[in-house]
């Protein structure tokens, strides 16, 4: 079962990807994690990617797909995987499809976690993070026991720049321009499934389970 997760930043697709991976015993493959692992381990692909990153350039689609295919060729992916954070654009999806086809393989389902922009802005601007231990909270959905203080280490909680309404709105603009067209792309391939991401995470997962 090869699954791609789609959805705007803050829609909760990462959370759902982890739940799918746990339930179906398949790896949760995040492109950010793969890049970091390759760079940390000093692989040839990692060295190549690092050259672009050190120059402040985007890693080319072909190299990103090569790093991704190297990961999904590992034995723990033999029963499938759930991709989170890739593809982000139509060209990336086309390169991925072409490379998988060469291997006699293909994506089985693309799951779109659909959440309106205004919900996402509210959701993300309510997030609070502990910069010391990495714990995260939400002022409504998951508040700390003491307002503004981390339950785990007692440090002050902050609203990260990434979660500020103006930043979230900019990220959503980029998403609508670059990534949303993937919804039409996978719909055209008859493998798109959409779930209502405004529900509680458990209800969203129940809807995904019905699809799978």
DSSP 74-97: SGGGTT-EEEES---SHHHHHHHH
Q: What is the pLDDT of residues 60-92, one digit of tens each?
A: 888 999 999 999 999 999 999 999 989 989 999
Give catalytic residue positions. Answer: 13, 88, 127, 160, 171
Rounded to two decimals, the pTM is 0.84
CATH of domain 2-116+171-211: 3.40.50.300
* Per-residue pLDDT, 141: 84
pLDDT digits (tens, 9 = 90+) for 83-117: 998 998 999 999 999 989 998 999 999 999 999 99
Burial 60-94 (b: 16+ CB within 10 A, else e): ebeebbbbbbebbeeeeeeebbbbbbbbbbeebbe
d(C-alpha 83, C-alpha 72), whole Å: 10
Query: Mean of the pLDDT values across residues 16-33?
Result: 93
């Amino acid at each position: 079962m090869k699954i791609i997760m789609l959805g705007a930043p803050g829609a909760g697709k990462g959370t759902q990807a982890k739940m799918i991976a746990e339930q179906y015993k398949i790896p949760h493959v995040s492109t950010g994690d793969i890049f970091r692992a390759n760079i940390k381990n000093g692989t040839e692909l990692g060295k190549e990617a690092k050259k672009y990153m050190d120059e402040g350039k985007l890693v080319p689609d072909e190299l990103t797909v090569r790093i991704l295919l190297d990961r999904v060729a590992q034995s723990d992916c033999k029963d499938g995987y759930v991709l989170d954070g890739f593809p982000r654009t139509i060209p990336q999806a086309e390169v991925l499809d072409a490379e998988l086809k060469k291997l006699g393989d293909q994506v089985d389902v693309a799951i779109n976690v659909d959440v309106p922009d205004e919900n996402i802005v509210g959701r993300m601007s309510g997030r609070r993070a502990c910069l010391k231990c990495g714990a995260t909270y939400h002022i409504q959905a998951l508040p700390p026991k003491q307002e503004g203080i981390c339950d785990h280490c007692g440090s002050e909680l902050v609203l990260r720049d990434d979660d500020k309404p103006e930043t979230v709105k900019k990220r959503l603009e980029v998403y609508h321009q670059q990534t949303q067209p993937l919804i039409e792309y996978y719909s055209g391939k008859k493998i798109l499934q959409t779930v209502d991401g405004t529900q509680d995470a458990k209800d969203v997962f129940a809807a995904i389970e019905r699809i799978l």
